[in-house]
Structure 1
Amino acid sequence: MRAGFPVPKAARRFILALVLSALLFLTPSVLAQSPILPTPKIELPQLNNTDVRTAPIRLDGRELFRVAVSADSGSNQNNAIGVRVQGIESNLQRFANQSGSTALEVTSAIDSSSNLPIIRVNNQYLMTVTTLDAQLQGQEPAIYAEELTRVIQQALTTARQERQPDSFVTQTGKAIAILAGMVVLSWMVSRLQSYLRKRHRRSHTEEPNFSELPPNSPETASSRTQLIVKQQLANRQQRTMKDVQRRSLQLVQLLIWATGGFIILGLFPQTRSLQPFVLSTPLKVLGVIVAIYLLSRLSDLLIDRIFGALDISQSSTDVSQRVALRFSTFSRVIKGLVTLAWISIALITILSLIGIEILPLLAGAGIIGLGISLASQNLIKDVINGFLILFEDQYAVGDVIQVGALSGLVESITLRITQIRNAEGRLITIPNSSISIVENLSKDWSRVDLAIAISYDANVDRTIKLIEKVGVEMSHDPDWESRILEPPDVLGVENLSYEGVTLRIWIKTQPLQQWHVGREFRRRLKMALDAEGIQIAIPQQAFSVRGSIDDEVFDHHEAQAAKPKPSQNNSKK
């Protein structure tokens, strides 16, 4: 190290400690690669899982080792393995329940008749170590018997200690402490639930009322619609967050009592065998369902937050309102797809917990799915057409559309159906595959198409000027100028009929404002026409009434007209 760069003492200590830590970390792995006493390799026949049946041996709920029997005898082997396990476990339980003052000695010896190791406890028979048991562990029977002797010695010693009165009192104290902790934690979670409920009720009462806002203006780029859409996203976020919090706290309550009960059951040898019930397959399936539900709700919350974080205020005036509506539509569709993905994951997980092989099932599901797809072509058409509707932005939630003879406000769009509510309040569900021609009455801008018939006695030019004057005054009215995009355009005389002279007017408005603007324009125009004395056209018809004398005169004139006139030659004669 150069003199110009002295190393501080703290740095040197840190480097030295780091080197020593690395040596300590690497030393066990190096020593593990060079065993001091190499174990001789035992040549034993290879066994397949189909050749043997195994079962665990437990004492007080703890698994000690496994025993095996041959599977050659078919269905009777189930009874054989069960009888052997029951015999060994009953002997272990009997030795564990003996008085603690009795000496405990576990030995193994080779039986002369069977040439197999026999394990005894206090010179009483416990079990015979078969060749199959040893082969399952890759060891010789005698060596495996010595290993089982140590395991059984330690297990019986622990079991006897747990049955002593002092140990029972100690474990009871621990159980009471754990139970008290469970009660305290459960009370804290309950208080948190009550606090969250009060906060949600308070936030609900403080929600802004957008009906009191002024109408959006071109300068603000449809800010009212943007605020409404953002508020809808915020409301959905609050509802989703409330549901997630409520379900999560309920799950925490369940975990508190399940975990505490699991630990308390494990404190006593008499109840430890009940622990596997807490981790049984039905409860695991229930846990998967609850977890998938919470993940689905969290995904909905995340999607709402992503769409709510997108800033649409920087968009141009023509597209800002449209983008706001599309955000609401796409968020619902994406949440549906994500929920479907979570449900698929849950099904696969539950099938694996039950013990069903997933890969063959997926292969079979592909064939079944092909058959279902052929039988459900309408559903596939619905999904494809729904995707195209969203991708091409044919309409969105909040638009007013007309599909054939049906029209209404779009309330919901999925990949399969579109739901609209008509003027009578009826919710109409339309499959997307049946939507071939759709009329969007509110995309980008709307129009008032107005036809007014005046009488033939009225001055047409004067009436046109009066209509233009009413339109200009209304378009400059502060209450209506933000809804009217362009001054009303009087197209002129549209038709001449028995009803009168028909004049046609177009008024370009903001989306969904054509009905309000049209009603107000008709009201103002009626008042202006009345003030100027211009009459609205009334259908007219002319009737001719004749009496009996008029009929005779009319018939005589018709007869004279029907006679042929004399020619010039006849007149000369």
Structure 2
Amino acid sequence: MATALAALLLVIVQPGLSAESPGPPAPEDSQPMAGSFRLSQVRILGVPVINVASLRVAGPEAGPDAAERARVIEGNLDLLYRPTQPCTPGERIGELLLERSGVGAVEAVCDPDHLGLQGAPEALQVVVTQRQAGGLNQLAAVVPGRATPFPLLTVTAADAQLNGTSEAALAQRWRGRLQRRLRRAREIYGAQQISERLWDAARVVVVLAALLVLAVWLWRRLQRQLPRQHRQCVEGAGHFAAARFHLAQSLSRLLLASVLVLGVAIGAVVLLATPGQVAPAIDVLFQPLVVLFKALAMVVVAALLRVLVGLLLSQWASNVFVPVAFQARRDQRYRSLLRVLRRLVDLACLLLFGVWTVVGIPVLRDLSSNALLASGAVLGALALVFQGLLRDFVAGLVLLFDDRYAIGDTVEIGGRLGEVIDVGVLSTELRCQDQRVVVVPNSGCEQSVNHTKLRSGAEVSLLLSRDTNLARALAVITAELAAFAADPTWQSLLLKPPTLLGVDAMTADGLRVTALLITEAGRQEQVRRALLERLAQRLEAVAAGEPG
């Protein structure tokens, strides 16, 4: 669609026109280099017409700088085709009053053509003259009504050396090119050309606006139908429900893209209504395609980086030299690192895409160093505003690579106990036992208690009444702990046999006896409940008179 619109826009304007108004010269360090020369382009209506050169060596033999020469030459050329207003509105009114009162001069200084350089395109001629001093070839414009030619530029030895010809031959070559381009530029600034271009642009804008309204109407209609089609797709109503839903979703995205392209095209047509703005209009028109290409390129780069990260982490997780006791922990960390590093890859590619897109915008691409410094100051201010997010981001990287916890661990952060279900670059998500999800900023996870890193532990507490035979009860508990450790059902989950710690406290209700369990990571609660149930049953059996 963008290509067709570009062809349509080119019909409005004459082929070969240029585009942007000449801007300030590039800094010396950013000028194009060609061997021993510095190059700078001279533009008419923004389109390069010739390249002027200067030697890179320092000293008087280097001659005038190429960028300064190009700026002066463009100023001379502009006077031949671009109507300029040398005075302010107040100065023009003052001059008019003075002229009518007979006090002022006989010629109007505020006249846009007070130098007598404007006129019909065919009346303009570019000739080659020679200066008396040094015999340098000079190009000048012969304009009817002026007694002497208007000087445009001087062909230097550096220009001739760069083009591989003599100064006289290069002057003749440039003479024909400049005369042809200047005459064309005068035609573009003619009143008839401007009027025709405005009418053509208005007609194209009306057509594009109608297409834009139609695309917006169709898009909104599809948006209203999508929820109903989605429900039918989920409920399985009909064999083609899913196909219709995906087709409508694709059409909705296509219409949204069409709306954006048509909006950009309208802006490009508006630019075309201004003389000498063809190239910026074409740049604006093709900007969505350029952005789309950059987006596709970054998607491919992100996919390749995600695959590379997965391969590297897989190699790290499958290291054969890792002890068996640490292999499960490494697998757990592998899942966490893979998720977070892929997110970092996506974030980095998104930032790179944004910078690449902004740098590619013609207006921003030619910003001066002062503008870049100003943008740096703005970024610094934004960093101060969002310093909390930056702190969470850095804290997330520290938590991740320091292996404080990983996905699947049971941790306690700020008095909240839960299982880690996601570790992001800014926050950590915990699922508590009541199934609530708690989102904790990474900067608030500096002090965390990990209950399941490499191994887990749990205390099993029993409350014995005061009239219980303590020695016999401790012996029964010790025997039951040994039997539990020998049970094949639980033996594989225990890293060590349960240990009786003894009487832990004396309360008003009785004596509290505690035993310690050390299990595989995350299995402590399951083993603790099973052991507690067996101990309670055994003590009840002893209290009932069964043999202990």
* Residue 332 (structure 1) shift: 3.1
* Residue 440 (structure 1) shift: 0.9
Partner of 1:459: 469
What pairs with 1:133-148 in structure 2 (closer than 5 Å)? 142-144=172-174
Partner of 1:353: 360
Stretch of structure 1 that moved more, 502-511 or 521-530: 521-530
Partner of 1:50: 71
What pairs with 1:488-567 in structure 2 (closer than 5 Å)? 488-533=498-543
* Residue 402 (structure 1) shift: 0.8
Partner of 1:487: 497
* Residue 147 (structure 1) shift: 7.9
Asked whether the 8 Å contact 1:488–1:506 carries over to 2, the reply is: yes
What pairs with 1:155-554 in structure 2 (closer than 5 Å)? 280-310=286-316, 311-355=318-362, 356=364, 357=366, 362-533=372-543
Asked whether the 8 Å contact 1:131–1:141 carries over to 2, the reply is: no
Do the aligned partners of residues 396 and 75 (structure 1) sit closer, same or farther apart at CA in structure 2, a change above 3 Å counting? Answer: farther
| Equivalent-residue separation in structure 1 for 2:455 and 2:532 (angstroms) | 20
Partner of 1:127: none
1:71-109 deviations in Å (ceiling 9; x for gaps)? 8967579x99xxxxxx99xx9xxxxxxxxxxxxxxxx99
* Residue 306 (structure 1) shift: 1.4
Q: CA RMSD in A?
A: 4.9
Letter in 1 for 2:308: L
SS of residue matched to 1:439: strand
| Equivalent-residue separation in structure 2 for 1:483 and 1:433 (angstroms) | 35
Number of equivalences: 335
Do the aligned partners of residues 135 and 425 (structure 1) sit closer, same or farther apart at CA in structure 2, a change above 3 Å counting? Answer: farther
* Residue 280 (structure 1) shift: 1.7
1:253-289 deviations in Å (ceiling 9; x for gaps)? x9xxxxxxxxxxxxxxxxxx9xx78982221012112
Do the aligned partners of residues 281 and 497 (structure 1) sit closer, same or farther apart at CA in structure 2, a change above 3 Å counting? Answer: closer
Percent sequence identity is 22
* Residue 507 (structure 1) shift: 0.9
SS of residue matched to 1:479: helix
| Equivalent-residue separation in structure 2 for 1:52 and 1:306 (angstroms) | 58
Asked whether the 8 Å contact 1:458–1:534 carries over to 2, the reply is: no
Partner of 1:104: none
| Equivalent-residue separation in structure 1 for 2:462 and 2:409 (angstroms) | 28
Do the aligned partners of residues 341 and 53 (structure 1) sit closer, same or farther apart at CA in structure 2, a change above 3 Å counting? Answer: farther
* Residue 131 (structure 1) shift: 7.7
* Residue 490 (structure 1) shift: 0.9
Stretch of structure 1 that moved more, 352-361 or 408-417: 352-361
Q: Unaligned stretches of 5+ in structure 1?
A: 1-40, 55-66, 81-86, 92-107, 119-129, 151-253, 255-272, 536-573
* Residue 495 (structure 1) shift: 2.5
- TM-score relative to the length of structure 1: 0.48
* Residue 423 (structure 1) shift: 1.5
| Equivalent-residue separation in structure 1 for 2:402 and 2:310 (angstroms) | 22
Partner of 2:241: none
| Equivalent-residue separation in structure 2 for 1:70 and 1:307 (angstroms) | 66
Q: Unaligned stretches of 5+ in structure 2?
A: 1-52, 55-62, 87-111, 114-119, 129-138, 144-149, 161-168, 181-256, 258-278
Asked whether the 8 Å contact 1:455–1:500 carries over to 2, the reply is: yes
| Equivalent-residue separation in structure 1 for 2:151 and 2:345 (angstroms) | 54
Asked whether the 8 Å contact 2:73–2:153 carries over to 1, the reply is: no
1:532-551 deviations in Å (ceiling 9; x for gaps)? 2369xxxxxxxxxxxxxxxx
SS of residue matched to 2:321: coil
Do the aligned partners of residues 45 and 480 (structure 1) sit closer, same or farther apart at CA in structure 2, a change above 3 Å counting? Answer: closer
* Residue 505 (structure 1) shift: 0.8
Partner of 2:23: none
| Equivalent-residue separation in structure 2 for 1:439 and 1:398 (angstroms) | 14
* Residue 387 (structure 1) shift: 3.3
1:222-252 deviations in Å (ceiling 9; x for gaps)? xxxxxxxxxxxxxxxxxxxxxxxxxxxxxxx
Do the aligned partners of residues 427 and 75 (structure 1) sit closer, same or farther apart at CA in structure 2, a change above 3 Å counting? Answer: farther
SS of residue matched to 2:461: strand
- TM-score relative to the length of structure 2: 0.50
| Equivalent-residue separation in structure 1 for 2:330 and 2:482 (angstroms) | 31
Which structure would you say has the larger Rg?
Answer: 1
Asked whether the 8 Å contact 1:133–1:141 carries over to 2, the reply is: no
* Residue 132 (structure 1) shift: 5.2
| Equivalent-residue separation in structure 1 for 2:394 and 2:126 (angstroms) | 75
Asked whether the 8 Å contact 2:452–2:522 carries over to 1, the reply is: yes
SS of residue matched to 2:434: coil
Asked whether the 8 Å contact 1:131–1:140 carries over to 2, the reply is: no
1:507-553 deviations in Å (ceiling 9; x for gaps)? 11111111110111122223222332369xxxxxxxxxxxxxxxxxx
